Structure 1
Amino acid sequence: MEWKQRGITVYVRNKQRYDPSSKLYDFLHVIVRNYAQTTIGAIKEDAIRQTGNSARINDLFLNNEPLADDRSVAHYNIEDGTILETTSNPFWATCIYIKKCEADKELSANPNDPHILAWTKKSIPRKLTLLSVLFNSKNEFRAQPPHFPTLDDFVLYLERLNKKGATMNPHFTQKDLRVMHNDFLQNDVGRSGDPLGNFIRRYAIQLGFRRPVKIDLKLFERNLQNFNCGDCEVALAELYCSDCQNATDGHGLYLCRQCSDTLHSGAARRRHQVDNLENAPKVSAPYVPHAFKAPFSILVAMYRALRERPAKLSMTEEEIKERAQPLTDTDLQDKQTGQYCAGFDCMEKLLMMRGFVQREDARNPTTDDDDDDDFFHRYALTDLGEELAERLFTFQQAVQRFMMSNHIPQIPQSNSQGCYGGKRICLIVDEQERDKERLLSIARERNINVQVRQLGAGDYIWIMTPPQDSQNFRCMGRNNTEEIVLPYIVERKSWEDLRESVRTKRFYKQINNMLGSGIENCFYLLEGSMGRMRYKPSEEQQKKLRETLETIFIENGFYVNYTASWYKSVVWLLWVTALLNEMLQKGQLSTDGVPYSEFRSRTIGQSRNPSLQRTDYRPGNSHVWDAEHYIDGLFRDSVNEISLLNEVKSGMKTTDRYKKHVLVIEGLESYNKVL
């Protein structure tokens, strides 16, 4: 394969581009190929050279923060297409330019009106003074002023500056700037592309400096290199002219060089702005859902149904959920804990709104009544949705082929019951667990034994039943004394539940109950993420929750696992059940354990009497090292690396090879080391 040289294009919005009356529509742009060795200062110098050294660019800004001249493009992680500003307050500079243009037009239209002459004579110099302050044009200050997030910040700065002429009338200029700021927030901020550029272009059209341009979105979704000339429609386009308006759609023309030379030979068209094709205006990329999120899984599931024979052209909500759920971590059936919306809500709020799916009402075939409740929705892919879904399906198939070719383990979707000497495995679910009926339904689909019981500790355990003669045995819980509890117990929590239980001390009671149950392997299953909590905790609260989990991991020997949703927690539990079944079939599962009746007597007693909390944690020592000390040892020569290990052993004072020790590296992670 031929290697292609990498490179990104960085744009610079110089002073003239903030002025809607300027005819300089094209960005200064610099192509960067060596990210690590190209500095911001080099970009600045290249941009100045493009203007014939006429531009004055003192500083460059990204996200309203100044960039250091000696820092590289790689240092700031500047992406392809990034626009660097030449002022710390690009929006306010644009607004002042707009107000100056309005005054200029008013004066030009009424040159003999004494009233207009009077106020414009004061207004225009004030606007020029404000621009001088924003750009630091006269080098009066050490640097440009700080960024002003609000107009009040801008006004307060001017009051403290106390510079002659640097003022704004609160009843006119300030009032208009507030209106423009609200307009910018509502119509431009948050949209893809160049929000400030859209704002400038809109006001340039309102002031009569530019003509409205209608963009053909479908045209831009095609590959630019495959554009044919808009004039001859035969040769490939190489140039773009924004001023050559297409007769039907109103957007600029893509032209080959010959047609461009012909069209721009006349006097009127010699003033057109002709640019290279790669500098043609960009539009936001078409929507593509994140892989294996809810919209992705729904589209792939609906496309799979189209490929069936006979094809399913439309499906009900439940049919889509059943097919799409295995493809996503998001729970489609119900909203996740702490979330206002369920996973399937993206159907109406995103897929239907963007035109990928259409919905039709149909009468429920099980009833003949005219009640509104007897109508249900059927969903079908539109042509646009089918095109996108086909691409997503191709991607999903490629992922599956990659995983199979590299033998990456996957969670099985269906399992048979294990049996060894008539014994079987059964998952026990606490009766207080939410959605337990749904869990039972999923387990039945996978032919896995699950039973709901009252548990005094944990939310889930596994038992091994006594030998049974029937091959169709289902665990019924009638032989508690002969049932053996396997050495695994699980407490499931969402981050919302964890925060609440820590606050009420219920967390520590549950941990002590699990430790007092006599079960060796304790699992803590965290569901969801802190970033998706309904009320996101502060940094201090997040740190406290992480430290709480580290405590049970380090001091109590818990295994802390994380899942994305309730559904994925259930899949994890059933997957563990399947592994235990497989071990049982192969005769690899130990039959030693606590009888269920003994487990029940231990845990139910603890649950009713909080004073019986366990405090004698599992034996073990810990030794805390500073991260820098530890890392420094890792990078020594091979001879000294042996001494590092000896240092660790000496610091932990270990003599018993079978005793567990924990090495805590302050500032990094927590590592279990058995020495």
Structure 2
Amino acid sequence: MPPEPVRLGRKRPLPACPNPLFLQWLTELRDQAAERGQKTQYVYQKALGSLKKYPLPLRNGKEAKILQNFGDGICKILDDRLEKHYRENGRDAPIHSLPKSVKASYQHSSKLASSSSNPRPQKEPLPLESRRPQGDGGRRKREYVPQKGSGGHAVLLTLYRQSLVPGTKGFMFKNELQTEAQPLCDKSFTVPDLGSKYTAWSSVTTLIQKELLLKTHNPARYSLTELGLDLAERLHEEEKGRGEGLGAKGKDERCVAKGTEEGSATVDLTADEDEEEDERDVCGPADVVPASTTWAPSQGSASRDMDQAQRSQTVDVDRAAKGVSLSPGSYDIVLCVDFIETTGGKQELVKELQRNGVNFDIRKLHVGDFLWVARERVTPVPGQLRPPPGRELVLDYIIERKRIDDLCGSIMDGRFKEQKFRLKRCGLHKPIYLVEECGSAGAHLSLPESTLQQAIINTQVVDGFFVKRVQDVKESAAYLTVMTRHLEKLYQNRTIICRSRELEGDGEPEARRQEKASCSLMSFNEFNQGAVKNKCQTVREVFARQLMQISGLSGDKAVAVLEHYSTVSSLLKAYDQCPSEADKEKLLSNIKYGKLKRNLGPALSRTVYQLYCTQGPLS
């Protein structure tokens, strides 16, 4: 006899839940929370799992508290719904079975589900507003379509447009997606609104739950599902339809690449947007997304072409900035905040600035934490969705913010001297050190308080920085607000012109102080690119960094040495020309440094000589 086939699956069907009404209410609550992108959906899901496993009937919500994942809040919601159920159906209404109306709607929806398994031939696609699948009770249930300007709308459009680029990799990383989608969104993907903890990125959860977006790998990769691709295509076509207005319905609306072979009458709005985004990355207002969130470019000809286009765009913008003259009233003063000041629990500063009504941008600053730019006011251009980015000139003020514990750490690891040196060399002549005392947080530090106070005093007296001491983040935000208001008043009647950092002479700062009605400033792009920390360095810059590693040799002293010996080679030649060992040790001792023109001294001179001329290891 052939062996009896093995039976798989459960031998007995599971009994139905004895509390279907509670089950239905919790399911509705979970679905509502999921549609709004709220995290309470997971709480309701856990409660549903516990309720399905419970085999006994419950008389009210309080009895459900014995179940796992049922708290006071869920029990109260169930009791409130139960009271409403009794008012509508009478005190004798059963609660351990569904009402007839609910059963009928369930049966009707099941019939619709079974009929949908045999699809009919598709007709011409309906508009987005008319596409509403059948739902419970025979009523049309509206299809989920994110609102224009929302995070979900921006994410779908960005992923779809990226899929149209030839040679695309088929997915986008989080940082890449946020940066590209930010111009299409009305809210920030990283900074929540005032009084809320949610950002535009929270809508991505809803897209994943609606099976419009797929999240895979670690780090996460985001791509469109088939449903998402269909919806995104419709959104994209509607966007183009609105933009073209009078329309060219006979033409191919999917042409998004530049250099299309269509006639010149076709307005290529998508290509204009790409150009504007490149310009915005170069010198325009930075997206609220941290500009440091960079990613590796895709390895394809399309990415290389886009990089080349962006580089050429940078050159064009820089050329346009040369000789710029902005008259009073044609520009706004904007505070630029380094993105590092908004990460790692530092959002309180941004929220304070928002409360104070400060006009600010969050972007990547290669030196300093805060600075101000004069941004040109621009008017929209006919045929483009957004106005072109305004040119930006950097004001002469730059702020380095230091908590007292961070100051301690920077002194110990050598960052303190390097940061001051880079601030002096950045091209802005009014550096400010903003020191936060942090109250009791400064009581447990690795350096004594007297050492920290001496470092702060040296920064003000020796290095020539203006030092502002505050107690906490709120006072820091208040100081930035007052400074912004002060600069707005200071520059309200001034004509500003663009100057080149390369042409800046030694006597220029003094001449600039004498100017009353106008001032010359650098473009933001030239300033930020010139302050890159890990850029290619000259031999002179490397020599200066080497000298500053010597204990007691500050930035002023290193600059004084460089004025006499600009490279290591020139210094070694000078040592070779000295007649004796004693003369070599005293070679640098009479070099003047700083405002007081003091001598470098024999001790430092001897140390430098031993460093560069000692054969073998140093003792």
Instruction: Assess same fold via TM > 0.5.
Output: no
**Larger helix fraction of residues:** 2
Given the two structures, how large is their TM-score scaled by the length of structure 2?
Answer: 0.30
